[in-house]
Structure 1
């Protein structure tokens, strides 16, 4: 204008500018008087073209465009008129009368107009449509919040609930997350398409509506009836937007869900699959209620991003759940299912959570009413350590069947540990296990209720304590042997000690990291009543251990309390070395079994077993010969002599006149074996009592 008309005044230019702004500018300009009525507005904007001029001019601005929150906007504008402080880029929500089904957002800047004396003349408002910008910003904020907050734990249920809480109410009015039940339990999720009948667990639910109706509670497991959009998305995993109304035929296939949808008043459903590497982990259902805008393509893309992130988090939780389940199941199987009932010994044990080792304890019934007590550990953590513990425990049980002395059993166990250490050392250098030194310890003790003694040996520094009836402790002298699998293959040494009547034996796993302090106070039993159970005493001792640094280094604790073996349940006879010893032995056995009220079949079988064992001892052994019967949970027969030579089971030929004795014994007895000691050997048998 200045070039075309050099004589144009400044006022002319300003008038032309104002005219252009109100007729051609894309920015919505509004001129309001002090009563907040519209005096003039920009007719070039799309918003103004959708409303007749007579519905805007001269009317209060809060009644013109369908403001969602008119009272709040009026308060904002009156504040600018009163203070003169402009309001810049305030976001205002409205629903245009021409298209009320979709909400728009506008950035509004309001300025006060005043004369030279500062008196208010009115207001100028600049309005810019920022609907798409705000929606994009909201989507980015929601996605960022999901990436920060969803998947903070390795719990699939918590992860799903975190997602549901984030999308409500900013992205959905109600959110439901359902996960394939196999994936929730740690198993591999099935590949798409999912077959009919796959079980889904409702993992999370959230709604902005108080006491919103639910088709099924969280945790409910079921297969989804079909055909519905939910079953379709499991077979064809891609997002879908479904308009909900009462006339949809598929609602009849799932009446429970249909009832919840109608009760909530939902009108739009966005259903998105959670997939990862071709596998379907579940689905996310987002519902809109009331006047919420329907979902568009950008919303579908956002829902898919949220589903993909959640699927990755669920898969991480699933892998952890699987590994944790395997490890805990394996570790649980390493512990005795239940205490073996013993006539003269009560036991109670407990593994202690430890960061540096996996421990175990065990009790094994031995012939002669004796009991083996084992406590051990292996340094390290993880499934491989738990598996190694299982291997050692199996070997100990196998060796215990040979009735070996504690030091001899540990020597054989050390051979297995050395093999495990060599296998670990031979792993490829890239394997993390290759660099971990195999370190294992074990304490093995045998309690004999007849002799009232306990023999023990330890691979590693032992932690023994005899808890006396008054609650004080005494530490028995047990030599510390080398750790299992150590390069130093020094021999193991055993020692025997007595447990006084009314006392208890406390054993903690020999630490592979450092020896536990030998302070008796750590295992001292607090004052308890005479009727207090072993489990209660064990809880008190473990609590005391965990409250000290020693507890962080122990991995298992085992208590054993002798009950006193009844003297009338043991019968012992010294036999002569002549051929009459067999008849004498049968006579003693017959009389003793009659005293114990044994049935005829048991008495006959026992006399036959004793005849064969005593005959072998007289013919092939060395005097003196001793016969002992023990009436406990089984009937035990023992024949002892001083010869180190042991008989061998063999199958006699038809023409042989002998060699069938032990074969007959093996057929009659439940189990039999040979036990060696410094004075000779003992042949023993056990028979099950009805």
Structure 2
């Protein structure tokens, strides 16, 4: 009987072979009614038709052969269908349902045809039992192969997406530049994900005026990239401002913050993507079929919009692609926001830094100066480097360079506070080591005021004082690199041109440690010598030894051009050919010596009778300098200063008059007692000397040294007067 059934099944198969396409069409109608999504995709619909026909053919082959000898296998097109369903994102459960539904329908059609070939119900019954066994065996085996192909493709897609996510994490956000970060996003996503990627950011984000807003629809195209040369799909150019219509999908995406997956069927092209008919026809020619709209969100703000477009890639975007695009865009948004915030803070810090640094050359006659400040590269951030030139009494000048540890607004603000403190301490004429001691206390107080999150403030500083009368330079360092000094060629016979072999300059601890002493070093400089004060960013480089950098610096200074501005430019070109990794503050000074004709000195005995001689000496000096009209006020000033020194100070006492842009009268005595300005009562016989000096001079003050103190007063010169010509007697005989 079994042989008879097999023969009947073979006859049934041969009878149905001419009807394969008709049977496949009937099966597809059943499938589409149960699974309509199979007919929505043109590629899937075409493949399903061929696959169904091959399944019918394979099943009929089994009816003509012995399935126990030849195990049923799925057609190759069925395996390709499983891979296609995986790429389209169909759930495997829907795939299996379609597979079993199709075979069940085929079994019903074959059963109906069998009843037409014979009226022997016993044969039909046995044939149907055999058909069920063959059909389910075929479904089980072929579905296993199709599911394996489906899963293999899903795993491959997952690996590709993981690779894309990993690539995006490596290549997006390599800089702290907004536009570059956006461009990196487009570069990564057009390699194996989309055919066109565009990035639009709100103008407010780029202008650093605030965060993006759904109401502010004006955007700017900051980056775009296509698999086609020149991005012909986009009518916008990079840098062009635009706004999407309020009713368009991009505008709604920005307003709601929800991503959109849009499939484009047939001739439908969104007007916001193709405002003109010709461009719409061009996009249809390219085969535009799907778009992802993903907002850029970071820290609660909407920064802009990313569009992912496919036209050359035949596979449209699916929900998994949308999730992948959202993940990549989310990371990119954080990087863009970081770059935006960094740029904003850097701009503020740099503006603060530049406003706190000297804007114009300070008027003084002790040195000629030129300076440079270079902020670090974009990733490093603005630091706390500064320099300053501070005129002091007695024609002297203070040269300062310092570096606050850290970056950003905190370092720039700390730098401003320290620079102000240095100027305040310089105003009371402190010695370099004493000034750094007081500055150290300021840093310690700043540390106590700071929160733990702000980090501990620390700084280095070099403070130097140059006296053009004695040509002495006094300096002290708080953890700062010492200056480089090159004397002029017109030096004393005991010195040769070249780098000065300075006495060992003790480098004290950085500011902020407290309790450790600083030390002042003094050395003489010939007129025309060069001093270069700088922060370590000028010489520190990972690829170069510090000694090599110092040699370059000395070579440039030794062969320095006439102008200091050119010297600064050459130093930066030689030592910093590329953007510096750290901030750089550079101050170059050429020393001047005050003409001896403009200095008059008189040693005085500690005797009140010497006051009269001091007045006469001052009158004679002014006559030589052509400043007789200042004689009366100068004699009063000298009289009060000398009287104060003789009465309250200690021997020796010395009067010094200095003529430069002002007339300075100084009286030195060996006492360290500081005088006090007070307003005398009517009944007081004295106490009005310093008050009188303060009223007669433009500036006055006291400076201390290890030998004693100097009380000085400055008067402005009369209009049209100035230093006498060269050749005047350099020192007047007090006798």
Once residues 260 and 452 of structure 1 are traced to their aligned partners in structure 2, the CA distance between those partners, rounded to angstroms, is 81
Contact 2:403 2:535 survives alignment (8 Å):
yes
Range with greater deviation from structure 2 (137-146 or 388-397): 137-146
Kindly state the Cα deviation for residue 400 of structure 1 after the two structures are TM-superposed. 1.0
Contact 1:346 1:563 survives alignment (8 Å):
yes
Matched position secondary structure for 2:423? helix
Once residues 531 and 653 of structure 2 are traced to their aligned partners in structure 1, the CA distance between those partners, rounded to angstroms, is 34
Contact 1:457 1:478 survives alignment (8 Å):
no
Unaligned residue ranges in structure 2 (runs of 5+): 33-37, 59-74, 90-153, 490-496, 647-651, 720-735
Change (3 A) 1:519 1:325: closer
Check if 1:219 corresponds to 2:219: no
Residue in structure 2 matched with residue 207 of structure 1 by the alignment:
226
Contact 2:460 2:478 survives alignment (8 Å):
yes
Residue in structure 2 matched with residue 676 of structure 1 by the alignment:
704
Q: Taking structure 1 as the reference length, what is the TM-score of the superposition?
A: 0.66
Contact 1:446 1:454 survives alignment (8 Å):
yes
Q: What are the superposed Cα offsets for residues 198-246 of structure 1, whole Å, 9 maximum, x if unpaired?
A: 6533221123443345554323456667565544443333345597999
Of residues 470, 479, 483, the one that matches 2:509 is 483
Map of 1:434-583 to 2, 5 A cutoff?
440-460=459-479, 463-469=482-488, 472-480=498-506, 482-484=508-510, 489-507=515-533, 521=551, 523-526=553-556, 531-538=561-568, 558-566=587-595, 577-579=610-612, 581-582=614-615
Once residues 552 and 49 of structure 1 are traced to their aligned partners in structure 2, the CA distance between those partners, rounded to angstroms, is 67
Check if 1:638 corresponds to 2:642: no
Of residues 386, 390, 393, the one that matches 1:367 is 393
Residue in structure 1 matched with residue 131 of structure 2 by the alignment:
none
Check if 1:285 corresponds to 2:318: no
Kindly state the Cα deviation for residue 283 of structure 1 after the two structures are TM-superposed. 1.3
Contact 1:572 1:627 survives alignment (8 Å):
yes
Change (3 A) 1:556 1:212: closer
Residue in structure 2 matched with residue 91 of structure 1 by the alignment:
none
Contact 1:22 1:43 survives alignment (8 Å):
no
Kindly state the Cα deviation for residue 340 of structure 1 after the two structures are TM-superposed. 3.2
Matched position secondary structure for 2:610? coil
Q: Kindly tell me the number of residue pairs found equivalent between the two proteins.
A: 585
Of residues 413, 423, 428, the one that matches 1:397 is 423
Residue in structure 2 matched with residue 620 of structure 1 by the alignment:
644
Check if 1:126 corresponds to 2:152: no
Contact 2:356 2:416 survives alignment (8 Å):
yes
Contact 2:172 2:332 survives alignment (8 Å):
yes
Counting helix residues as a fraction of each chain, which structure ranks higher? 2
Once residues 384 and 395 of structure 1 are traced to their aligned partners in structure 2, the CA distance between those partners, rounded to angstroms, is 17
Once residues 462 and 498 of structure 2 are traced to their aligned partners in structure 1, the CA distance between those partners, rounded to angstroms, is 22
Once residues 414 and 161 of structure 1 are traced to their aligned partners in structure 2, the CA distance between those partners, rounded to angstroms, is 47
Once residues 77 and 14 of structure 2 are traced to their aligned partners in structure 1, the CA distance between those partners, rounded to angstroms, is 13
Kindly state the Cα deviation for residue 586 of structure 1 after the two structures are TM-superposed. 5.7
Counting strand residues as a fraction of each chain, which structure ranks higher? 1
Matched position secondary structure for 2:295? strand
Change (3 A) 1:408 1:325: same
Once residues 526 and 536 of structure 2 are traced to their aligned partners in structure 1, the CA distance between those partners, rounded to angstroms, is 24
Of residues 425, 428, 433, the one that matches 1:407 is 433
Change (3 A) 1:530 1:483: closer
Change (3 A) 1:478 1:293: closer
Q: What are the superposed Cα offsets for residues 459-485 of structure 1, whole Å, 9 maximum, x if unpaired?
A: 347634432446631232145254145
Residue in structure 2 matched with residue 80 of structure 1 by the alignment:
none
Contact 2:656 2:666 survives alignment (8 Å):
yes
Contact 2:368 2:589 survives alignment (8 Å):
yes
Unaligned residue ranges in structure 1 (runs of 5+): 25-29, 31-39, 51-95, 114-123, 596-602
Contact 1:274 1:280 survives alignment (8 Å):
yes
Change (3 A) 1:195 1:659: farther
Matched position secondary structure for 1:211? coil
Matched position secondary structure for 1:373? strand
Q: RMSD in angstroms over aligned alpha carbons?
A: 5.4
Larger of the two Rg values belongs to structure: 2
Once residues 182 and 534 of structure 1 are traced to their aligned partners in structure 2, the CA distance between those partners, rounded to angstroms, is 42
Kindly state the Cα deviation for residue 161 of structure 1 after the two structures are TM-superposed. 1.8
